[in-house]
Structure 1
Amino acid sequence: MIRKLLTLLVAVPLMLGGASAAAHSPAPLNCAGLTAAHVPQGMVTSATAADGYCQVQGVLEPATKFTVKLPVSGWTGEYVQQGCSGLCGAVPDLRFPLFGFSCPAAKDKTLVVAGDDTGHTGDPAGAQPATWGRDPRARIEFGLTSEHRLRLASDALMTAYYGHGPAYRYFDGCSTGGRQGLNLAQRFPADFDGILAGAPANNEAPLALLEAWVATRNTDAHGKQILGPEKIPTLHDAVVKTCGDVIQDPRKCGFQPSSLRCPPDVDRPTCLTPAQVAAVVAFYRGPHGLYNGGMPYGSELGWIDQFVVRSGSPLDGNAGKIAFNYLKYLGYPTVLPGRFKLTDVRFTPATYDRLNLLGNALYNANNPDLSAFRAHGGKLIMYHGWADPYIPPFSTLDYYRAVQKRGGADAYTRLYMIPAGYHCLFGPEADTSPSEIGVPEFLQPLMDWVEKGTAPGVINVPTLSGDYTDVIRDLDVAPFDALAPIKTAPDSLNANYHYVGRYYLGGPR
């Protein structure tokens, strides 16, 4: 099975690489006429004018649904493609602000924007079984090809509508979208001029092990939850007291969960039982050698609903659902048996190696060699919140360190590490959005870098306070140097994480 899938992988770039960047139209079409436009490996199903856009919907063979929104007037010549989140399964909401930008062109609706569902219908958070992963073609589209194919389709539609293609192409994504952005830079380096990759899930296969780890480490032998949400405020307050209101770098903090240990035979909301201390230590450390660290100090409020649940089992939290679906339907060459449970996972090097058979072929975007992207003139901005509990920031630091070690990274890449930033700069509550709390503006600096040669420097960040109720708007964040030596706390559970040497296609450091 794995040999057949890898054979398909060899064929896919050959099929796609020969496609023209945009279909030629003898004359621009009106909006309704786009239903007759030629789309590489696909078709348009509807084209309607509304809210200042010509909104085009269609399907890329065999099942990838997409939406492209073309400004009726005032198009800047810029194209922005939006990535998805989680397991995808729905076309992203293409309304601004998206993940981390709200530039004037976006607000004025003068950008062409597009997104797709990556070839399947399903719940991004894993609430539904990801049975679509039984189809190898669906795995390839989700993991590797969907964003490249959408770029080709969008070029064709822009040419058909405006009479010419875009002057500049940009990709914006966070989480799975961040992985998609890095995948494009690594495997389709000529597709985009600028890429925003936020909180990237580029170490996808090992990330499933981390998610399984935190869910199972909060479950006792009887299937009951060890650390409940009632203990989270006490834990978070203790971390903030030790590390600071806005944690600049959790590796510099030496907080020890044992400092909250309850007296013998006592269990109250203001302390941790011995079992809870052990669980929290496991959360901060992560699965040794199988992922780049664990939960960062300061992320505690985001653990609720992720692997600390309000009711039921931690195995059914967000982390457990994603891990279960990935492992059962996506992570292995053949589908695991119906009796598979998350507690069956063995956190061993053999499990890591087996997951990375498909991980490195399809889902991981860990190659630090971006020389082809740089040669094309591409620019990459990455960002990650230091308090991200969904995709801890340490994997991004290690990946960017590998990029920097190849030399010349400052000429075409930037990394911004956001103090007190949660996943994709949302949160910690699920209903907290950038429009409510404000987010750093990344797209305009990326456009200025690509179009004017102005390299981005310090960016002003509306960072949240330690209790995540107030916005601190005077924090300036400079580009992060992952190679710079830091003075870590000797007893920090975050600083002593194990670097996964096989993490990159480039091999151990």
Structure 2
Amino acid sequence: MPQATTLLLRALLVFTAVFACSTRANAAAYVVKHCAELEGQSVPASVIGLPTRGATILSASVVAAAAPKNRNGEYCRVVGVIKAELDTTPDIRFEVNLPALWNGRALQMGGGGYNGSIVSGTEPAAFAPYASPLSTGYATFGSDSGHVGNSGRADFAMNDEAVVNFGYGHLKKTHDVALALIMMGYGRKPEQTYFAGGSTGGREAFTVIERYPDDYDGVIANAPAINFSGVRLMGVKVGQAAYGTPGGTLGPVQQKRVFETVLHECDGLDGVVDGIVSNVEACRKHEPQIIAQLRCASGQRPSLRDSCLSEAQLATLEVLRDGFTLPYELAYGVTKFYGYNVFQGVDFSSGLGLGNSPVLTQPLTFDADGYLFTQGDSYMKYFVTHDPRFNTLGFDVDHPGIYKSRLVDLSSTVGAMNPDISEFLAHGGKLITMHGLADEVISPNQTIAFYQSLVAKYGQSIVDSFMRLYMVPGFQHGNGVFIPAWDELGALDRWVTMNIAPETLLGTDIASATNGRTRPLCRYPGYPKYLGRGNLNNASSFRCENP
């Protein structure tokens, strides 16, 4: 048996024996007292569920409760690396934080974008906005997913092992190393282990449900990029409509006018004019007159000073609205990507929008060329073709030729569209998903469609027994006219540990212009409707109503 394996197993046996009859407080005190002893230790590859060359602890130190800027109480901070199989592949950098006042639970944190930096759980998060999970007693851990740097270029994807790590490998590898360290620190496994993340982290959340269902008791998956290949190919199609068609780009003034026109038509459909399009389904019926108001009059041509839209510009928006259906299948039989609520309240002029340049820039940037196309272009260059000079505008998404098998393989490696979650159900796991109906990056309609596929497969009562879906009006991809703060982690924990299933919840707006107003967060398909009386800024003046 290798020496590292012998040392770890010996440590686990000693710590387990020491704490078999000890209190939680004694175990927590031990982890702080002996924190520094973890430095230099190894976690052997034999205890990691996917192939690696083991993990090494680079540093382990106590962060004092009174340390500058520390709001987490006393904890042991452990940083290390998980060695890749190949020398040419970057290691996975990780961090595990073991609080002195441990609540017996562990939380793995998902990343964002292309990851590239260590996620640790030492700061408040979207799903736990009022206090960091670490400060409330969770042992927290996360990684950089196996590469350094989160840029739109995604050049790490030239390395196939790094792509596997980004897609799913880092999740299992980091989990197993962290659980070994928790055992070493406290002498026992967590009573509950959770996963939480948004966007890429939301895709990772569904990934662990589908691939590693027995590892997690509860999962939070917000704005999940589950159809990763779909959203990147959507970006390609949007870029081709905008830049591959003469006059297809929309300027910021025009993008803003789309949003303002939709507000004028649809804001009041929930019973009150408050800057939020809440009744999205009713708003869809107003789409023809919205488009008519946006269209340039006969003979009129849009300019920088004129916010009307040409037929080419409207066609770009319609590509966004309609999504696409492929003539071939990606992994798990996926052929469709569902489009965005372009004419139901998405503000593409704010946040991660459609760009502001009428011609392509080199290199592409989010601000100039739009987030969706810039990311789609990087996907084609680095994930699919491994050719940084590839001409994405000339790529035929419907007939990808020699790249078809690569697209199919990637949709399995980086994606979470497998509807078979029977093992997570058997494990008794719980899932809370939240998505903004005005999301301009990850289509909320894709999340709704996946939820509906689960209902079709398992039945509504079964889905209700393990999943809650909250679709939030006015919320975009981290920004928007309504940005909810709510204790999602607390709701999940109560569901798992006390069997208190979440129903209508309270969201507090943290958007700068309307900070502090509250709204009910309604279970899908409900939306908040004004009662016709009461303070517009209080959730009590609204009720959840189905469209």
Structure 1: runs of 5+ lacking an equivalent:
1-19, 485-509
**1:409: Cα distance to partner?**
0.8
**Which structure has the larger Rg?**
2
1:339 maps to 2:352: no
1:170 maps to 2:222: no
Q: What residue in structure 2 maps to residue 469 of structure 1?
A: 513
Q: What residue in structure 2 maps to residue 491 of structure 1?
A: none
Deviates more, 1:44-53 or 1:146-155: 44-53
CA contact (8 A) 1:304 1:310 kept: no
Q: How many pairs does the alignment contain? A: 446
CA contact (8 A) 1:215 1:307 kept: no
Deviates more, 1:43-52 or 1:246-255: 246-255
Q: What residue in structure 2 maps to residue 490 of structure 1?
A: none
SS in 2 for 1:24: helix
Separation (CA, whole Å) in 1 of partners of 2:206 and 2:466 = 13
CA gap of 1:345–1:243, structure 2 versus 1, over 3 A, is farther
CA contact (8 A) 1:225 1:313 kept: no
1:390 maps to 2:441: yes
1:37-68 deviation per Cα after TM superposition (whole angstroms, max 9, x unaligned): 44242111011222422111100112000011
CA contact (8 A) 2:220 2:431 kept: yes
Q: What residue in structure 2 maps to residue 61 of structure 1?
A: 83
Structure 2: runs of 5+ lacking an equivalent:
1-7, 16-29, 45-53, 64-69, 85-90, 268-274, 327-335, 528-547
Q: 1 or 2 for the larger relative contact order (CA 8 Å, sep ≥6)?
A: 1
CA contact (8 A) 2:96 2:178 kept: yes
Separation (CA, whole Å) in 2 of partners of 1:345 and 1:79 = 44
Separation (CA, whole Å) in 1 of partners of 2:276 and 2:475 = 9
RMSD: 2.9
Q: What residue in structure 1 maps to residue 494 of structure 2?
A: 448
Amino acid at match of 1:195: V
Matches within 5 A, 1:87-486: 87-92=114-119, 94-102=121-129, 106=133, 108-123=135-150, 125-126=151-152, 129-221=153-245, 226-244=249-267, 245-253=275-283, 254-255=286-287, 256-263=290-297, 264-267=299-302, 268-289=305-326, 290-296=336-342, 297-301=344-348, 305-309=352-356, 313=360, 316-317=365-366, 318-330=371-383, 332=384, 335-348=385-398, 350=400, 354=405, 356-405=407-456, 406-407=458-459, 408-423=462-477, 426-428=478-480, 439-463=485-509, 469-471=513-515, 473-481=517-525
Deviates more, 1:338-347 or 1:99-108: 99-108
**1:342: Cα distance to partner?**
2.1
Separation (CA, whole Å) in 2 of partners of 1:383 and 1:371 = 21
Amino acid at match of 1:39: V
Separation (CA, whole Å) in 2 of partners of 1:259 and 1:384 = 29
1:220-270 deviation per Cα after TM superposition (whole angstroms, max 9, x unaligned): 556x77211122222211011112132224343232323222332343334
Deviates more, 1:27-36 or 1:153-162: 27-36
**1:119: Cα distance to partner?**
0.8
1:431-471 deviation per Cα after TM superposition (whole angstroms, max 9, x unaligned): xxx9xx65122100100011111111111123578xx8324
SS in 1 for 2:193: strand
Q: What residue in structure 1 maps to residue 329 of structure 2?
A: none
Deviates more, 1:141-150 or 1:301-310: 301-310
CA gap of 1:349–1:165, structure 2 versus 1, over 3 A, is same
Separation (CA, whole Å) in 2 of partners of 1:216 and 1:303 = 21
CA gap of 1:25–1:288, structure 2 versus 1, over 3 A, is same
Separation (CA, whole Å) in 2 of partners of 1:22 and 1:459 = 47
CA gap of 1:304–1:383, structure 2 versus 1, over 3 A, is closer
CA contact (8 A) 2:213 2:427 kept: yes
TM-score in terms of structure 1 length: 0.80
Q: What residue in structure 1 maps to residue 534 of structure 2?
A: none
**1:199: Cα distance to partner?**
0.8
**1:34: Cα distance to partner?**
1.0
% same residue: 27
1:311-357 deviation per Cα after TM superposition (whole angstroms, max 9, x unaligned): 86375322223212222222x3xx34343122022131657954542
Q: What residue in structure 2 maps to residue 48 of structure 1?
A: 61
Amino acid at match of 1:57: V
CA contact (8 A) 2:322 2:340 kept: yes
Which residue of 24, 29, 35 maps to 1:31?
A: 35
**1:367: Cα distance to partner?**
1.3
